[in-house]
């Protein structure tokens, strides 16, 4: 049985007096690709931030690779994180390699040079197929290319656990598909544990081994087919889903 | 017009060194101010400092010291309040900006007296800079330079994406507060050069010019430093030969440089894509 990488138990998070997450419980096992789904304001981003120890937990606990999320310290170097694209300025004057290099910074690199880490940066860019863009200005890249550079940034420390928050938001459909395929390839190659937050039920259901559906509280988790067929999905989104199953037993979904 | 004539006056020599020190200091911080989008904070800190300056004047304490406490306090309180209350920095600065000014005006109106230093602190008086003032500027520049050199890559990462920097375990709050304190100190020593009213220009224009003219941070920092130094020194020269107060001439020259950067930026972009 695979090792549990992330374990959330009865997790409750309150921000500015508002309950954002309530009684959320789930496990993510090593090498699993888990999709976190739910409507707007469901607390998906807060859940990722709680895993990273960036928000205080009122009740319950999250253990990440054997360490409580409130005290990750050294375990942080084993976690890659790609925040929502709104969190940075796309006109920031950095080259693609500079952006990737920011992913190397940690308390251990304080007062130390990271010039000797060029090979790690090159390897991360190579992994996402962007090695030829190394010296290109980040602001000159397309949205899809920028997302790949940010993925390289989250991979540069060769993490075991990768957390992604709406990584394909704002991309057109082919770019979204290409990004998810790349993610899948990387996950298989390096046996990464991936937790992906997404609005896009279709692509996340096609890629994930397991879905966790939340809307403040836990609604359902399990294999994508089971989750998408469950009436609890309708409860979480407060609408009715019409499901189609394609030839590969992968589920696609429409809204009635 | 011979430069040696100008430097024959010891006050002009002191003013020249003050322009070099403050130009370097402000343009260095301007780089981070523009990248972190803290431009309004510069104006807010300087106007709030008026409250501290007034407190110093009416109580007989050193107005630069009380102003510095207000400036650094405002900068750090802005960061702290905006973080814990989720109110944007702009909103918090807007409140401090007005209340600091109001406090200063109320003090000066209540304790009526003759405060000759007030005018020079409001509009700047670089020609009145003394050797101890220069030493203070040198110390502040050294401390801030040390802070920036030691934590440059971390500060750059925080400006780019604070969330990611925090997830990586960087001491984001501490470094951000350090940056704000540095801004408070820089604003206060710069007030002697251009005054409360105009100091925001020194904190904003060099970095904004660098951002227009460069697509990489090294170029942006270099352009920011050059702009700050050229603006400060040439503004001082201009004020020597024409009857314009140094603070105003420095800010006007910086504005002309920024306008030039806006005008040539499309051309530079075309050349970059053509290359």
Report pLDDT digits (tens) over A70-85. Answer: 999 889 999 999 998 7
- Residue B202 has what pLDDT? 94
Measured CA to CA in angstroms, residue A23 lies from A10, A18, A152 at distances of 4, 14, 34
Residues 6 or more apart from A7 whose CB is under 8 A from it? A27, A28, A62, A63
pLDDT on residue A17: 87
**Which of B37, B168, B215 faces A106 most closely, judged by CB atoms?**
B168
| Global confidence as pTM | 0.91
pLDDT > 70? residue A236: yes
- The pLDDT score that the predictor gives to residue A87 is 62
Answer yes or no: are the C-beta atoms of A31 and A15 closer than 8 Å.
no
Helices (H) then strands (E): counts for chain A: 8, 12
pLDDT at A216 over 80: yes
Supply B227's token pair: 């702009």
The set of residues, in sequence order, having a beta carbon less than 8 Å from that of B253 and lying 6+ positions away, is: B230, B231, B234, B235, B238
Q: Are B76 and B93 contacting, i.e. CB atoms less than 8 angstroms apart?
A: no
Q: Distance between CA B201 and CA B209 in Å, rounded?
A: 11
Q: What is the pLDDT of residue A180?
A: 87
Other CB atoms within a 10 A radius of the CB of residue A173 amount to 11
Interface A-B, measured as beta-carbon pairs within 8 A, has a size of 83
Question: Is B21:B137 a contact under the CB 8 Å cutoff?
Answer: yes
Chain B residues touching A16 at Cβ < 8 A: 86
The pLDDT value given to residue B272: 81
Torsion of CA A149, A151, A154, A158, to 10 degrees: -100
Distance from CA of A105 to the nearest CA of B (A): 7
β-pairing, A210-215 vs A193-197, is unpaired
Q: Report the pLDDT value the prediction gives residue B118, as an integer from 0 to 100.
A: 83
Helix B63-85 × helix B39-59 angle, to 10°: 140
B216 touches chain A (CB under 8 A): yes
- A interface with B, Cβ–Cβ below 8 Å: 16, 52, 54, 72-73, 76-77, 79, 81, 83, 87-89, 92-95, 98-99, 101-103, 105-107, 109-111, 114, 137, 139-140, 153
Using alpha carbons, select from B175, B235, B177, B178 the residue that is nearest to residue B201: B235
Enclosing H/E stretch for B98: helix B89-110
Residues in chain B: 275
H-type alpha helices, A79-216: 96-102, 118-127, 143-155, 173-190, 201-207
Helix, strand, or coil here: A34?
strand
Residue B244, token pair as written in the block? 């314009």
Q: Do A99 and B164 touch (CB under 8 A)?
A: no
pLDDT class for A247, splitting at 50, 70, 90? very low
Q: Please give, rounded to a whole number of angstroms, the shortest distance from the CA of A242 to a CA of chain B.
A: 37
Average pLDDT of the segment spanning A144-152: 93
Nearest residue of chain A to residue B219 (CA atoms): A93
Q: What is the pLDDT of residue B55?
A: 93
Report yes or no: B157 and A89 within 8 Å, Cβ to Cβ: no
The DSSP 8-state label assigned to residue A33 in this structure reads: E
Q: Answer yes or no: are the C-beta atoms of A77 and A65 closer than 8 Å.
A: no
Question: Which pLDDT does position A242 carry in this prediction?
Answer: 64
Question: What confidence tier does A1 reach under pLDDT thresholds 50, 70, 90?
Answer: low
Q: How many CB atoms lie within 10 A of CB A239?
A: 11
Task: Look at residue B1 in the predicted model and tell me its pLDDT.
Answer: 56
Closest CA to A194 of A215, A208, A205: A208
The arithmetic mean of pLDDT across residues A8-27, rounded, is 93
Residue given tokens 């993490």 in the structure block:
A159
Cα torsion at B16, B19, B23, B25 (round to 10°)?
A: 100
Q: Which has the minimum average pLDDT: A43-47, A130-134, A171-175, B208-212? A: A171-175
Gyration radius of chain A's alpha carbons: 18
Mean pLDDT (whole number) for A217-234: 80
B142 CA to chain A: closest CA distance, Å? 17
Question: Which residues have a Cβ under 8 Å from the Cβ of A21 and sit 6 or more positions away?
Answer: A11, A12, A13, A43, A46, A47, A50, A214, A216, A217
> What's the average model confidence in pLDDT over A157-175?
89
- pLDDT tens for chain B, 275 residues: list them: 567 788 889 999 999 999 999 999 999 999 999 999 999 998 899 899 999 999 999 999 988 899 999 999 999 999 999 988 888 888 999 999 999 999 999 998 888 777 888 888 888 888 889 999 999 999 999 999 999 999 999 999 999 999 999 999 999 999 999 999 999 999 999 988 889 888 999 999 999 999 999 999 999 999 999 999 999 999 999 999 999 999 999 999 999 999 999 999 999 988 888 87
- Smallest CA–CA distance, residue A25 to chain B, in Å, is 22
Q: What is the pLDDT of residues B72-115, one digit of tens each?
A: 999 999 999 998 888 888 899 999 999 999 999 999 888 877 78
> Which DSSP string corresponds to A141-172?
S-HHHHHHHHHHHHHTT--SEEEEESTTTT--
Q: How confident is the model at residue A65, as a pLDDT?
A: 95
Best mutation site among A102, A108, A111 for testing chain B: the one with the most B CBs within 10 Å?
A: A102
3-state helix/strand/coil string of B140-161 = HHHHHHHHHHHCHHHHHHHHHC
Across chain A, mean pLDDT equals: 87
pLDDT confidence of residue B142 = 97
List phi, psi (to 5°) of B46: -65, -40
> What does residue B39 show for φ and ψ, rounded to 5 degrees?
-55, -45
User: Which of B81, B84, B162, B163 to mutate to probe the A interface, most A CBs <10 Å?
Assistant: B163
pLDDT (mean) for A110-124? 91
Angle made by CA atoms A163, A167, A171, in degrees to the nearest 5: 170
Q: Name the residue facing B161 among A54, A88, A111 (closest C-beta).
A: A88
Degrees, nearest 5: CA angle B48-B50-B55:
115
**B271 exposed, middle or buried (CB, 10 Å; 0-12, 13-18, 19+)?**
exposed
Which pLDDT score, from 0 to 100, does residue B132 have? Answer: 92
Instruction: Let me know: does A161 contact A190? Beta carbons within 8 Å.
Output: no
């Amino acid at each position: 049985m695979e090792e549990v990488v992330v374990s959330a138990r009865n997790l409750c998070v309150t921000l500015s007096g508002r309950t954002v997450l309530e009684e959320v419980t789930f496990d993510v096992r090593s090498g699993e690709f888990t999709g976190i789904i739910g409507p707007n304001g469901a607390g998906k981003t807060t859940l990722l931030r709680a895993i990273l120890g960036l928000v205080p937990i009122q009740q319950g606990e999250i253990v990440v690779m054997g360490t409580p999320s409130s005290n990750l310290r050294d375990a942080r170097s084993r976690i890659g994180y790609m925040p929502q694209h709104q969190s940075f300025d796309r006109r920031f004057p950095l080259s693609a390699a500079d952006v990737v290099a920011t992913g190397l910074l940690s308390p251990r690199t304080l007062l130390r040079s990271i010039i000797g880490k060029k090979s790690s940066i090159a390897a991360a860019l190579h992994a996402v197929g962007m090695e030829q863009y190394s010296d290109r200005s980040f602001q000159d890249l397309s949205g899809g290319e920028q997302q790949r550079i940010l993925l390289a940034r989250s991979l540069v420390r060769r993490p075991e656990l990768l957390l992604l928050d709406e990584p394909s938001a704002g991309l057109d459909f082919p770019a979204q598909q290409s990004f998810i395929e790349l993610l899948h390839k990387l996950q298989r190659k390096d046996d990464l544990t991936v937790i992906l937050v997404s609005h896009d039920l279709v692509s996340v259901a096609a890629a994930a081994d397991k879905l966790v559906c939340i809307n403040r509280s836990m609604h359902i988790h399990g294999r994508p087919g089971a989750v998408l067929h469950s009436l609890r999905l309708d409860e979480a989104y407060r609408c009715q889903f019409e499901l189609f199953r394609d030839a590969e037993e992968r589920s696609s979904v429409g809204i009635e | 017009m011979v430069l040696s004539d100008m430097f024959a006056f010891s006050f002009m020599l002191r003013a020249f060194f003050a322009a070099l020190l403050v130009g370097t200091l402000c343009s260095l911080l301007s780089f981070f101010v523009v990248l972190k989008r803290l431009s309004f904070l510069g104006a807010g800190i300087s106007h709030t400092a008026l409250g501290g300056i007034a407190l110093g004047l009416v109580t007989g304490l050193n107005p630069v010291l009380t102003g510095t406490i207000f400036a650094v306090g405002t900068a750090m309180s802005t960061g702290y309040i905006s973080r814990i209350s989720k109110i944007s920095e702009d909103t918090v600065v807007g409140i401090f900006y007005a209340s600091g000014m109001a406090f200063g005006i109320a003090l000066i109106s209540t304790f009526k007296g003759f405060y000759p230093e007030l005018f020079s602190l409001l509009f700047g008086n670089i020609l009145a800079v003394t050797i101890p003032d220069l030493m203070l500027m040198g110390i502040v520049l050294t401390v801030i330079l040390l802070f920036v050199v030691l934590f440059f890559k971390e500060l750059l990462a925080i400006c780019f994406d604070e969330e990611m920097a925090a997830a990586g375990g960087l001491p984001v709050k501490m470094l951000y507060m350090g940056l704000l304190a540095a801004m408070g100190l820089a604003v206060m020593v710069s007030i002697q050069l251009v005054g409360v009213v105009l100091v925001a220009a020194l904190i904003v224009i060099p970095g904004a010019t660098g951002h227009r003219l460069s697509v990489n941070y090294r170029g942006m920092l270099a352009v920011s430093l050059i702009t700050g130094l050229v603006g400060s020194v040439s503004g001082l020269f201009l004020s020597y030969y024409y009857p314009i107060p140094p603070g105003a001439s420095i800010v006007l020259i910086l504005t002309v440089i920024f306008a030039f950067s806006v005008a040539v930026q499309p051309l530079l972009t075309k050349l970059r894509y053509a290359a």
